[in-house]
Amino acid sequence: MHIQTLGSGPDLVLIHGWALHGGVFAPLAERLASRFRLHLVDLPGHGFSRDPGTPLELAAVASAIAARVPPAVWLGWSLGGLFALRAAATLPTVRGLAMVAATPRFVRAEDWPHAVAPEVFARFGQELGEDYAGTLDRFIALDTLGSEHGRAELKLLRALLSERGAPDPEALQQGLRLLESSDLRRSLPSLRVPSLWLGGRRDRLVHPRGMEAAAALAPRSRFVELAGAAHAPFLGHVDAVAAELAAFADNSAP
């Protein structure tokens, strides 16, 4: 699995969302590399991680990342939040958890109303086999939809999408199944590390009320809603995200 390390200071692991790669955090890395040693992960089947040896499964990927990085605060964006939360709940080397536009459960249920309809990810999976390029473009458009800087964010994501090679179709299907089926809410009340939950007020994929509800289940948690931001707040609102992360990571230091 490809992990790019840069900067110096306390360690911070960053895990990207569906169909992208660690390069999506470039604007954030520019602002944090002078204060933190950053470990930018390419999930299996994404970016430079083309080796099929590690399946896109929560436990396997979390353990594989932990074996490659020192004790650190872990950040997960969107799908990446599931891996970060799994690691924070099960691995002793995680010192803090930052969830960016991510929740422990991405699909709606009777007791979890602020999420997407269950059929959304299944539909993307079906469309992926029929129109691979078009489906990816529609999905990343949702990442930026509603943001006050949406046009610039979408242009950047489109450029990044194939910058490290096209993501593996099977890994994309595995990722959609994780988004559709994962429910890590039970791990929150016993979370032993502090957590920061950053949500965009205009997010069309992860409702900020869902993030707020998730944060309320975890001890030592803080929820921050970013006005004007959508599903990728670290692009159009990078300074605000960097400031929140820096303060959180400083407070999470051993």
Look at residue 15 in the predicted model and tell me its pLDDT. 98
**By three-state DSSP, how is residue 46 classified?**
coil
Contacts of 77 (CB under 8 A, 6+ apart): 14, 15, 16, 17, 24, 25, 100, 101, 102, 232, 234
Q: Would you place residue 250 in the very low, low, confident or very high pLDDT band (cuts 50, 70, 90)?
A: confident
CA angle at 17 for the pair 16 and 22, rounded to the nearest 5°: 25
Look at residue 55 in the predicted model and tell me its pLDDT. 87
- As a whole number of angstroms, the distance between CA 166 and CA 83 comes to 21
Look at residue 92 in the predicted model and tell me its pLDDT. 97
Are the C-beta atoms of 245 and 32 separated by less than 8 Å? yes
Strand order in the sheet with 3-7: 3-7, 37-41, 11-15, 72-77, 94-100, 195-200, 221-226
Q: Which two tokens stand for residue 193?
A: 């590390």
What is the average pLDDT score of the chain?
Answer: 94
- As a whole number of angstroms, the distance between CA 51 and CA 55 comes to 10
- As a whole number of angstroms, the distance between CA 146 and CA 203 comes to 7
- How far the first Cα of the chain sits from its last, in Å, is 27
Are the C-beta atoms of 99 and 85 separated by less than 8 Å? yes
Tell me what the mean pLDDT of segment 246-250 comes to: 90
Look at residue 192 in the predicted model and tell me its pLDDT. 96
From the candidates 203, 221, 237, 252, which is the catalytic residue? 203
Tell me what the mean pLDDT of segment 207-226 comes to: 97
Has 78 been annotated as catalytic?
yes
From the candidates 49, 78, 147, 221, which is the catalytic residue? 78
Q: Which two tokens stand for residue 46?
A: 């994404």
Has 203 been annotated as catalytic?
yes
Look at residue 75 in the predicted model and tell me its pLDDT. 98
Look at residue 245 in the predicted model and tell me its pLDDT. 95
Q: Name the residue type at position 188.
A: L
What confidence tens digit (pLDDT) does each residue in 90-101 have?
999 999 999 999
What confidence tens digit (pLDDT) does each residue in 5-57 have?
999 999 999 999 999 999 999 999 999 999 999 999 999 999 999 876 788 99
Has 231 been annotated as catalytic?
yes
Fold classified for 3-252? Rossmann fold (3.40.50)
What confidence tens digit (pLDDT) does each residue in 151-192 have?
999 999 999 888 898 899 999 999 999 999 999 999 999 999
What is the Cα 247 distance to its own chain's centre?
19
| φ and ψ at residue 10, rounded to 5 degrees | -60, 150
Q: Which two tokens stand for residue 41?
A: 């992960």
Contacts of 210 (CB under 8 A, 6+ apart): 103, 112, 114, 115
**By three-state DSSP, how is residue 5 classified?**
strand
What confidence tens digit (pLDDT) does each residue in 103-143 have?
999 999 999 999 999 888 888 989 998 999 999 999 999 99
Q: Where are the alpha helices (DSSP H) in the chain?
A: 26-32, 58-66, 79-90, 119-130, 132-144, 150-161, 169-181, 208-217, 233-236, 238-252
